[in-house]
Amino acid sequence: MSDHRPWEGLTEVADRETGTIKWYNSGKGYGFIARESGEDLFVHFTALGTADEIKEGQRVEFDVDESGNPMARDVRLL
């Protein structure tokens, strides 16, 4: 019998959230999103997809990757 576990190696992602871009430096390729819970969440440019013109104060929707240090994934402008 196989010991195949298809979920292994998958990133743990919670439900989508909304927040506001608190700070983003396109030269450095990262910034922070102010979550509605009040906590700041790291965001890397690779999570932005087509939202490459992101600016401070913009509302966004995102997934939270909790597999290590929490960070935003699949960020989309609202």
The Cα 64–Cα 11 span in angstroms is: 10
Return left, alpha or beta for 45; rule: phi > 0 is left, psi -120 to 50 is alpha, else beta. Answer: alpha
Q: What is the pLDDT of residues 27-52, one digit of tens each?
A: 999 999 999 999 999 999 999 986 66
Q: What is the pLDDT of residue 52?
A: 60
2 pLDDT more than 80: no
pLDDT confidence bin for 8, thresholds 50/70/90: low
pTM of the model: 0.77
Q: Which CATH number fits domain 17-72: 3.40.50.620, 1.20.1740.10, 2.40.10.10, 2.40.50.140?
A: 2.40.50.140
Structural domain boundaries of the chain?
17-72
Answer yes or no: are the C-beta atoms of 33 and 60 closer than 8 Å.
Answer: yes
Closest C-alpha among 3, 52, 65, 63 to residue 26: 52
